Structure 1
Amino acid sequence: MARTSKTAAVPPTFNIALVGQSGRLGYEAVLFVASLRAKSPDFAGRILVAEPQPGPLWTKDPRMPGDLHDTLNAMGAEIVPFDSAHFGEAYPYGNKIEMLTALPKGAPFVFFDSDTLVTGDLGAVPFDFAYPSASLRREGTWPQLELYGPGYTDIWKSLYDKFGLDFASSLDLSEPDEYWKRYLYFNAGFFFGPCPHEFGVRFLDYALAIRDDPPAPLVCQSLDPWLDQVALPLVIHSFGGGRDSAVHDHIDGDVTCHYRLLPLLYARESQAVIDTLEEVAAPNKIKKVLKGYDPIKRMVFQGRGEKVRALFDQNDMPRREQAIRNRIKSNGFWMR
């Protein structure tokens, strides 16, 4: 049952943060901000597009080109530069960890992956910033158990013990023992909290400690690309948050869609999501910029997305994402 409280109303303002950089993420950031302005026009907070800066952990300049800067600024977004001190090109998912301390200190924040569309009114979402949470639109991707190896309980408990956290209170006792949903696990496609600096410092500390000195039960487990999603539930639990948030009735639902990649969007998302995408991409000043990225040009403007959609019965979709990807690829329509 989702947590509710008298303090769960949206505060007067909160900041939205996402990452924008060269390549796909910069163009997705344009789509995100355009959809926010179209579907949540009364949003009064700041839109902060965090941009990694050149440095030794990047072989190429990670900054967005000038036309994307101009387009984002014209829609009222702010470009927030940050330095990559620990992850960079070797683990770009670390951007969402390192960018947090570049955001305004002490201001409630909601982070979204750039491959997200706003499809409804964010003002209707009952964020309770005293109870952080994150996306529950996930599969049991980590850990991957090995024959005769540690189970879910041993692996997750070793992490809670490493950071002095109470493991038992994190469990969903309505799920069976040794089933992945019993253990606190999120997709890092969105998360929120009361202060990005406090959240970011702890997120970084936990992620580095897990990467550099993992507990023994993790010996057979891959942390690439899962490191952020391994550390995130520990961070949220440490701040008194969890899975039981009323936001999950809206985020990854009627108010936002984390589509991941455009072929997946056309394959499995609702017609309302497709309509939002095509509506916000249509104005000439936006369209001209988005055509600079080939997957958007082909999927949205040249009709490849509709060909992808025709491959599937949206009322009878494959249960696993990999099966969706394989069908798209076998028909020659995959792009990223």
Structure 2
Amino acid sequence: MPPVSWNILIIGQAGRLMHEATLFAATLRHNAPRWSGRLIVAEPQPGPLWPADPRIPEGPQRDLLHHLGAEIVPFESRHFGHAYPQGNKIEGLAALPDGTFVFFDTDTAITGELADLEIDFTRPAASMKRENTWPDPQLYGPDYNEIWGALHARRGGRLADTLDTRWPDNHWRRYLYFNAGWFLGADPAAFQRAFEAAALMIRDDPPDALASQILDPWLDQAALPLAIHERGGGRPGGRGGIAEGVFDGSHSVHWRAMPLLYATAPDHAIEAVEAASRPNRVKKVLKDYEPFRRFLYQGKGARARALFDRADLPRKEQAIRNRLRREGLWMR
């Protein structure tokens, strides 16, 4: 049976994201040459929710994206825009054609051949590379059960169906919670409807159990578990249709900031990113962005990497960031 072709969605817009999109596309083409899907770069359009034009300007970044086979597709911002740019990943799903898809945050690199993957897109899944960032239960309640239970009930789900019972009651890992750095599904329109409805409910008409919770910037990550559960999915390696450790592991790295990439990523990921960044046509464009210039091409990456033992990293990311700052190696 030939491999299933599926599409990739990332967000591209003026500023940091257009540079990150070029690195994503370069790593995709270099490290997954047999992958045959479409790379869709969803581009928000000017409108009342954007004080400035968010589109990628004509120039080297846009040209390189086209050269690397990316399709830049417009979408309208109806609910989020500048006030909550993370909402682009919700509304940008409208830029996808019909068919199976994986969304990646733009600050991601592809590090392995995607054509070899076996994915059941009928069972949506998302990134487990997360910390206990949300919710933040207060001393006198509501607790995790009450918060997540109220949310799932609002969307017609059952909390009991989402629990990882390997973890004790009221331990944050027991509850369905993802990093929104990647997620996948079979039907982008249906997924978008579920994701958007969950996000708007949480933002505009939250249950009482959320009264003490901060939603910015966590709204997308609060809504994503509701959408994935509603669409019949779950955790990778469980109810989600992809093995654990494929994305955020063997085949992709969510690097988020160049210093963190070099401090924390495994050797194969660094090698994959640097190899994809080496061709002259790519290098000329990537060097326009200072973090890429300094870390990929001017040696700061090697300096940051030498500070840490990947087999014994600090448990909290903040400790990594603090050390990088002390060494003058932090840049976002």
TM-score range, shorter chain: over 0.9
Q: Is 2:142–2:209's contact at 8 Å kept on the other side of the alignment?
A: yes
Among residues 309, 313, 323, which one is paired with 1:313 in the alignment? 309
1:290 paired to 2:286: yes
Identity score, percent: 54
Q: In the TM superposition, what is the alpha-carbon distance from 1:55 to its structure 2 partner?
A: 1.4
Sort the Cα spacing of 1:315 and 1:12 in 2 relative to 1 into closer, same or farther, 3 A.
closer
1:10–1:126 CA contact under 8 A, matched in 2: no
Which range moved further: 215-224 or 51-60? Answer: 51-60
What stretches of structure 1 of length at least 5 have no aligned partner?
1-8
Q: Please name the residue that 2:295 is paired with.
A: 299
Letter in 1 for 2:105: D
Q: Letter of the aligned partner of 1:78 in structure 2?
A: E
Any idea what SS the aligned residue of 2:5 has? coil
Letter of the aligned partner of 2:82 in structure 1?
A: E
- C-alpha displacement of 1:10: 8.3
Q: Which amino acid is 2:306 matched to? A: A
Cα 1:227/1:38, change in 2 over 3 Å? same
What residue in structure 2 maps to residue 68 of structure 1?
61
1:188 matched residue in structure 2: 180
Q: How does 1:237-248 map to 2 (within 5 A)?
A: 237-243=229-235, 244=238, 245=240, 246-248=242-244
User: Is 1:77 aligned with 2:73?
Assistant: no
Q: Which structure 1 residue ranges, 4+ long, deviate > 6 Å from structure 2?
A: none
Following superposition, the deviation at residue 314 of structure 1 comes to 2.2
For the aligned residues, what is the CA RMSD? 1.3
Tell me the TM-score normalized by structure 2.
Answer: 0.95
1:65, distance to aligned residue in structure 2 (A): 2.6
The aligned residue for residue 165 of structure 1 is 157
Whole-Å Cα distance in 1 between the matches of residues 267 and 95 of structure 2? 36
Please point out which of 167, 170, 181 is paired with 1:175.
Answer: 167
1:223 aligns with 215
Cα distance per residue 1:209-228 (max 9 Å; x no partner):
11011111111111111111
Distance between the aligned counterparts of 1:200 and 1:257, measured in 2? Answer: 24
The alpha-carbon distance between structure 1 residues 254 and 10, as it changes in their structure 2 partners (threshold 3 A), is: farther
Give the Cα–Cα distance (whole angstroms) in 1 for the partners of residues 201 and 130 of structure 2: 24
Distance in 1, Cα, partners of 2:2 & 2:200: 33
Q: Distance in 1 between matches of 2:88 and 2:220?
A: 10
Q: 2:5 aligns with which of 3, 13, 25?
A: 13
Q: Is the 8 A contact 1:10 1:128 kept in 2?
A: no
- SS for the counterpart of 2:183 is strand
Q: Deviations over 1:52-106 (max 9, x none)?
A: 111111122211232211101111110011111111111110000001112113x
SS at match of 1:34: helix
Bigger shift: 274-283 or 152-161?
Answer: 274-283
Contact 1:10 1:125 in 2 (8 A): no
1:259 is matched with which residue? 255
Q: Aligned with 1:192: secondary structure?
A: strand
Matched position secondary structure for 2:180: strand
Contact (CA 8 Å) 2:194, 2:230: kept in 1 or not? no
| Cα offsets for 1:291-335 (capped at 9, x unmatched) | 111111111111111111122222221110011111111222111
CA-to-aligned-CA distance 1:252-295 (integer Å, 9 cap, x gap): 11111111111100111112211112111111111111111111
Distance in 2, Cα, partners of 1:248 & 1:33 = 24
In structure 2, relative to structure 1, the CA distance for the partners of 1:24 and 1:151 (3 Å cut) is: same
The residue that corresponds to 1:3 in the other structure is none
